[in-house]
Chain A
C-alpha cells in the first residue's frame, strides 16, 4: 500500500490563481480530512469527509472547496489564492473502526 499520497510536494502561486491539491489513499478508508499547518499554530482542520459524496467544514474552511466523488480521492481546491493561504497542507485518512488518522507527506504552498 502507498498509504496517503499528496501531489504536488511544492507549489508557488500568484495571488488570484487557482489550483487543486491532490490527495489519494489506497487503504479504503471512509474518512478523509485536510489540515493546514502554519508556523507556531499546530494543525487546523479545513474540511473533512465521512464518505463518498459527503463533506463538511472544519475550523478554517474559507477560501477552500472540496468534493469526494470516490472513496480514494479527496482534492482540495483553492479558487483564488491569497498570501494568507501560504502554508503546509496535510491530507489524512482513517477507517471507521479506528480513531487515529494516517497523514500524507504534505504539500508546501507559497502564495506570492
Chain B
C-alpha cells in the first residue's frame, strides 16, 4: 500500500515567518513530487513540482527533496495570511498516471 504521510497540523505561524511543511512517502520508485494548496471548499492548486534531489525555489516557495530518506518538504518564506490553507503533498504512482495524495497540513498565518 503506497502511502504519503503528512502532519495534519494545524501549523500556526505569525505573518512574515517561515512555514515548514513536511511529507514522507513509502514508494521508493516514485519520481515526481508535487505540492498543492487547497483552500476550504476549493480544488487543489499546483504550487510546486520537484523531480531531483535538492532544492527548487519559486518566489517565496522552496521545495526540498531527499529520495534516500523518502522525504519532501515545502518552505514558505515571508508567510502571509493569504497563505492560510491546507497544503497537500502528492507523489506519482508506479504506473505514472495517478497521484497519491497525503491528507494535507493545515497552515494558519496570523497577522
Is B a genuine binding partner of A? no
